[in-house]
Amino acid sequence: MSKYSLIIDDELCWGCRTCEVACKQEYEHKIKFIHVQEDGPRAVGNEFIYFHRPTVCRHCDEPPCEGACPESAISKRDDGIVVLDYDTCSGCRNCIDACPYDSVGFDEEKQIALKCNLCHHRVDRGLIPACADNVCLAHCIYFGDPASIHEQIERKRRKRQTK
């Protein structure tokens, strides 16, 4: 079974927020599951720490949200994708509190929790998740096998001359 991950190398992220709008377009301009957060700037000595960090569900190996859900609406698939089933969700919000990455949202209208399901409706039909489908100008959003992604990230890092 292939393993699927969405991994973002935020050292490269420019904060252009295209991934956010790509996600939104996929969900008919209604919701989005990825948010780019600013980290810093903070002065450390003569340097500044200043990042843009895209945050999105990490599809954890042992998802705390899964255990927190009384309806068993959240489950991790064999391919690694953690799916929240909107039909089963009762809107208790336990998963929201359980997620350490603040990656579960809430639909006030429908009164259900919402999270990135890694575009499984696309993945299951051979399409790359919307935010990872070559939209990012930094090419820093990776989808696929985690081991080979980490290797690519390392290779690129070794080549770079910038800070």
21/98 with CB nearer ligand SF4: 21
**Residue of 75, 31, 23, 77 lying closest to 54 (CA atoms):** 23
Site for another protein in 22-81 (CB under 8 A): 22, 24-25, 29, 32, 40-43, 48-52
- Sign of torsion, CA 39 146 67 84? positive
Contacts of 131 (CB under 8 A, 6+ apart): 6, 19, 20, 22, 23, 34, 56, 141
Residue with tokens 């089933």: 85
The stretch among 73-81, 117-125, 135-143, 150-158 that binds ligand SF4 (CB under 6 A) is 135-143
Q: Tell whether residue 12 is a contact of another protein (CB under 8 A).
A: yes
Contact 104, 115 (CB under 8 A): yes
Among residues 4, 5, 6, 13, the one that binds ligand SF4 under rule CB under 6 A:
13
Which residues lie near another protein (CB under 8 A)? Answer: 2, 12-18, 20-22, 24-25, 29, 32, 40-43, 48-52, 122, 125-128, 133-139, 143-145, 148, 156, 159-163
